[in-house]
Amino acid sequence: MRFDTRAVHVGEEPNLAPGGTGDVVMPIHLSSTFARAEIDVPTAGYEYSRSGNPTRDGLERRLAALEDGQHGLAFASGLAAETAVVLTLLRPGDHVVLFDDLYGGSRRLFTKVFGEQWGLSLTFVDATDTARVAEALRPETRMIWMETPTNPLLKLCDIEAICELVQDRECLVAVDNTFMTPAFQRPLALGADLVVHSTTKYLNGHSDSVGGAVIVNSDALHERLRFHQNAAGAVLSPFDSFLVLRGLKTLGVRMRAHQEAALRIAGWLSDRAEVARVIYPGLDSHPQHDLAARQMSGFGGMVSFELIGGLTAARRLLENVRIFALAESLGGVESLIESPALMTHASVPPEARREIGLTDGLVRLSVGIESVEDLLEDLDRALKRTQA
């Protein structure tokens, strides 16, 4: 089955067996516990909804199928998924190499919780250059944690080249694929051991659920993560699992629409006098456009740009848009706008922001699927007011 067909059908096959009701849509199995006909035999394999739930199972199977993986696990948030990966697969004293331009919350989780409180040792590198990742490796490096493209500077790392660096080492490669989604990028096929998602974003796609996921190929990794998921308990609820299953049906269609509008807006912004630079992997001007075209089958719906007028202009722009909602998060059908320095990345210390090039005048767009002409008119009106 091809991608768009898998997105609609895997994990949601109608039950036509005797006693099955043939639902075309996955029911929301709200039951916290499952009655048994026989003491020793859980009915249809289910005992208790933290350990396993039919709606969540359906979602986990679909997530695996879309990422070309063997096993999917759904968690209560993207950060809960990241926490499960670290607590299951790493130990205090282990060393992790991370991209220096991660989502602010991921960076905070690693530095404040797993670094300062728990004892991981961390090296943040500019992973746009694979050589820097190689230089950062130590004998005790047990994981490389990448996000590509990054949030919000849309920097890329070469997943395949990074995986090759550690193929003979006891070191796992985890890739946060939230921005591209499996519609445009499949890290497992490029050699990664784990794919992580905030399903809150494009996978659910409608800004009405918070969730996370991990997808792996290895049975051994899956067994350990599955044990942790049940033992620690940060599972995705049946209702949220239903929402993400529903959202995933249109993932391919939505991603193509997001990308078409984003490309148009990125090109349009590039010609504006108020804008110092536009960052979008689909533009020739993106320093890693060639890698983007090779590694991804699309360029996504996120566009960042820097205003000549800095923070003052950014504030004016955000105050004057009408269709773009001023909000954190991304990946929904509605367009969002935000200032990373003031909002999503405020938890990153100012000096760390400066080091990676995250300036105060940077604005991030999550381009939705509205009519692009309306979005351009909205930006045009608000950009003109940045000069006032």
Residues that bind ligand PLP (CB under 6 A): 77-79, 103, 105-106, 147, 151, 176, 178-179, 198, 200, 210, 212, 329
CB of 176 to ligand PLP, least distance (A): 5
| Nearest to ligand PLP of 332, 361 (CB atom) | 332
| Through-space distance between the first and last CA atoms of the chain, rounded to whole angstroms | 55
Comparing every residue's Cβ against ligand PLP, the nearest one is: 78
Question: Number of H helices and number of E strands within the chain?
Answer: 14, 12
CB of 196 to ligand PLP, least distance (A): 7
| Nearest to ligand PLP of 154, 172 (CB atom) | 154
Residue partners of 95: CB distance under 8 A and separation at least 6: 120, 121, 122, 123, 138, 140, 141, 142
Could you tell me the two tokens for 179? 């921005």
CB of 299 to ligand PLP, least distance (A): 16
Mapped onto helix, strand or coil, the DSSP state of residue 173 is: strand
In whole angstroms, what is the distance from residue 143 CA to residue 171 CA? 5
**What is 263-294 written as a DSSP string?**
HHHHHHHHT-TTEEEEE-TTSTTSTTHHHHHH
Residue partners of 123: CB distance under 8 A and separation at least 6: 95, 96, 97, 98, 136
In whole angstroms, what is the distance from residue 60 CA to residue 300 CA? 23
In whole angstroms, what is the distance from residue 157 CA to residue 149 CA? 7
Residues catalogued as catalytic: 50, 103, 176, 201
Residue type at 96?
V
CB of 147 to ligand PLP, least distance (A): 5
CB of 324 to ligand PLP, least distance (A): 17
| Nearest to ligand PLP of 94, 147 (CB atom) | 147
| Nearest to ligand PLP of 244, 382 (CB atom) | 244
CB burial string 149-183: b at 16+ within 10 A, e below:
bbbbbbbbbbbebbbebbeeeebbbbbbbbbbbbb
| Nearest to ligand PLP of 304, 386 (CB atom) | 304
